């Protein structure tokens, strides 16, 4: 028996992918065909869990993941009548680069600079570059710095 589901390709979600991967979360995205205006309920399966989301939202942030771990996410539509069309994407979350916060090493009073100690990066992390942005904390202590990392 052969059934033609070609009419479903015009209404099913396309281009399931990853917009951003962080240490403990991932932002998944997809496209909804312009001709499809109705709401479609989608299911994202991963790591023996499932999350339901409205297809029209076009994105879903998955949180509470483990750092430096492989995950496979499967997007399913259970309203198409095609037995649940599926798309799949695999990722590895970012490693935990800063197990402790950077500490102040030396403060140069005559110059407007501060030297900080950075924790060692795990060798298995394969990091190309790390960008730190330091912002003076004027609310509590002018000598303290908040550092944010971007890898």
Domains and CATH numbers, the chain: 6-92 (2.60.40.10), 103-150 (no CATH)
Q: Is 9 helix (H, G, I), strand (E, B) or coil?
A: helix
Per-residue pLDDT at 62? 97
Rounded mean pLDDT, 88-110: 81
Span 4-15, average pLDDT? 56
Tens digit of each residue's pLDDT (9 = 90 or more) over 27-42: 999 998 777 666 788 8
> What contacts 24+ positions apart, CB below 8 Å, involve 5-11?
5/80, 5/82, 8/80, 8/81, 8/82, 8/85, 10/35, 10/36, 11/35, 11/36, 11/40, 11/80
Q: Show Cβ contacts of residue 79 under 8 Å, excluding neighbours closer than 6 positions.
A: 40, 41
Q: For the segment 33-87, what is each residue's pLDDT rounded down to a tens digit?
A: 777 666 788 899 999 999 999 888 999 999 999 998 999 999 987 655 455 668 9
Q: What is the pTM of this model?
A: 0.67
pLDDT tens-digit series, residues 129-141:
777 676 666 655 5
Q: What is the mean pLDDT of the chain?
A: 77
| pLDDT at site 138 | 61
């Amino acid at each position: 028996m052969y059934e033609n589901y070609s009419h479903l390709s015009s209404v099913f979600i396309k281009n399931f992918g990853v917009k951003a991967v962080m240490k403990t979360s991932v932002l998944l995205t997809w496209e909804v065909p312009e001709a499809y205006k109705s709401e479609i309920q989608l299911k994202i399966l991963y790591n023996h869990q499932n999350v339901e989301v409205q297809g029209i939202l076009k994105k879903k942030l998955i949180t509470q993941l483990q750092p430096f771990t492989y995950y496979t996410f499967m997007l399913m539509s259970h309203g198409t009548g095609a037995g649940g069309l599926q798309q799949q994407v695999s990722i590895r979350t970012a490693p935990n680069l800063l197990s402790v916060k950077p500490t102040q090493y030396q403060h140069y009073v005559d110059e407007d600079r501060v030297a900080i100690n950075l924790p060692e990066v795990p060798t298995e992390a394969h990091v190309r570059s790390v960008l730190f942005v330091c912002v003076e904390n004027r609310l509590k202590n002018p000598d303290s710095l908040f550092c944010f990392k971007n890898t």
